[in-house]
């Protein structure tokens, strides 16, 4: 990607204070964009401020808080590229019949959060702009104990195709990551390295992915004016396992 490819453009990344979102915010800044990175975790916000070193504006916003989203978008003015990488909900990894209804529903907080970001952000979008969401390989790579994760990911990818049709000429796309080294695995504690290594064993690219590798796909979709309704997989070949 050429330096300055996003020069002077306004880029907003919801869920932009850690992992894939932060890598995207920093990457967009390096390409010359004015960047707002939003998140809700105080710890992540503090780290993002340090990582951004004044190159990105870091703000506290919850993806489900419509008033806060609207205030952020109004501050930006015209948005050239809007990304939402926020998790937005909890994930229960167990057999469907062993989950409660509330546990299954909670995973869809991601979809409802994305819907709120798009609804609230649409009036501020440049007509030549783009919206990009993040799903995940489980949307199409079905495994036991991952029904909630798979269903919400598939819903996000279908939503993107619907939005691309309805919102043109604004472009709408989605990036689908595989197993990426982010804070989502912190709960594993000391066993993290061993457990993640087991997850990628047998994958075509037999290692965990880096947030910067997924961010590269998000930045690509910002810059490619001919891509819309597209799902870009960055999963180490997980779908082919």
Work out how many domains the chain is built from and give that number.
1
With 80 as the cut, is the pLDDT of residue 188 above it?
A: no
What pLDDT is stored for residue 187 in this prediction?
Answer: 58
Domain span at residue 51 reads 10-232
Q: Is residue 93 part of a domain?
A: yes
Q: Is residue 238 part of a domain?
A: no
The model's pLDDT over 21-72, given as tens digits with 9 standing for 90+, comes to 999 999 999 999 999 999 999 999 999 999 998 999 999 999 999 999 999 9
Q: Is residue 119 within 8 Å of 69, Cβ to Cβ?
A: no
Q: In percent, how much of the chain has pLDDT > 70?
A: 96
What pLDDT is stored for residue 2 in this prediction?
Answer: 58
Q: Is residue 4 part of a domain?
A: no
With 60 as the cut, is the pLDDT of residue 206 above it?
A: yes
The model's pLDDT over 100-122, given as tens digits with 9 standing for 90+, comes to 999 999 999 999 999 999 999 99
Instruction: Identify the residue with better confidence: 7 or 91.
Output: 7
Burial class (CB in 10 A: 0-12, 13-18, 19+), 191: exposed
Q: Kindly report the backbone phi and psi dihedral angles of residue 134, in degrees, each rounded to the nearest multiple of 5, phi listed first.
A: -125, 125
Measuring CA to CA, which residue among 177, 176, 173 is closest to residue 132? Answer: 173
Q: Is residue 239 part of a domain?
A: no
Average pLDDT over residues 8-31: 97
Q: Is residue 95 part of a domain?
A: yes
The model's pLDDT over 151-186, given as tens digits with 9 standing for 90+, comes to 999 999 999 999 999 999 999 999 999 999 887 666
With 60 as the cut, is the pLDDT of residue 1 above it?
A: no
Average pLDDT over residues 205-219: 96
| Helix, coil or strand: residue 199 | helix
Write down the mean pLDDT value for the chain.
94
Average pLDDT over residues 97-102: 96
With 90 as the cut, is the pLDDT of residue 91 above it?
A: no
Burial class (CB in 10 A: 0-12, 13-18, 19+), 176: buried
Percent composition of the chain: helix, strand, coil (DSSP 3-state, to 5):
50, 20, 35
Q: Is residue 2 part of a domain?
A: no
The secondary structure of 48-112 as a DSSP string is HHHHHTTSSEEEE--TT-HHHHHHHHHHH-SEEEEEE----S----S-GGGS-HHHHHHHTHHHH
Confidence at 192, pLDDT banded by 50, 70, 90? confident
CATH number of the domain residue 195 falls in: 3.40.50.720
Q: Is residue 5 part of a domain?
A: no
| Helix, coil or strand: residue 183 | helix
Instruction: Identify the residue with better confidence: 46 or 197.
Output: 46
Confidence at 89, pLDDT banded by 50, 70, 90? confident
Cross-strand pairs, 231 = 174
Q: Is residue 83 within 8 Å of 13, Cβ to Cβ?
A: yes
End-to-end CA distance of the chain: 30
Q: Is residue 237 part of a domain?
A: no
């Amino acid at each position: 990607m050429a330096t300055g490819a996003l020069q002077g453009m306004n880029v907003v990344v919801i869920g932009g204070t850690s992992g894939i979102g932060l890598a995207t915010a920093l990457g967009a800044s390096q390409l010359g964009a004015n960047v707002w990175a939003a998140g809700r975790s105080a710890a992540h916000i503090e780290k993002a401020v340090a990582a951004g070193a004044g190159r990105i504006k870091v703000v506290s916003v919850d993806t489900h808080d419509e008033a806060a989203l609207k205030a952020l978008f109004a501050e930006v003015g015209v948005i050239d590229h809007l990304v939402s990488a926020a998790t937005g909900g909890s994930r229960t990894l167990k057999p469907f019949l062993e989950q409660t209804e509330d546990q299954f529903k909670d995973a869809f907080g991601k979809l409802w959060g994305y819907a709120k970001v798009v609804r609230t952000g649409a009036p501020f979008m440049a007509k030549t702009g783009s919206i990009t969401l993040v799903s995940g390989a489980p949307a199409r790579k079905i495994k036991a104990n991952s029904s909630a994760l798979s269903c919400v990911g598939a819903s996000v990818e279908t939503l993107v195709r619907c939005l691309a049709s309805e919102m043109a000429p604004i472009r709408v796309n989605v990036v689908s990551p595989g197993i990426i080294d982010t804070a989502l695995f912190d709960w594993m504690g000391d066993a993290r390295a061993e457990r993640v290594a087991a997850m990628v064993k047998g994958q075509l690219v037999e290692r965990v992915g880096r947030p910067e590798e997924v961010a590269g796909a998000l930045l690509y979709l910002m810059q490619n004016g001919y891509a819309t309704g597209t799902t870009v997989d960055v999963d180490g070949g997980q779908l082919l396992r």
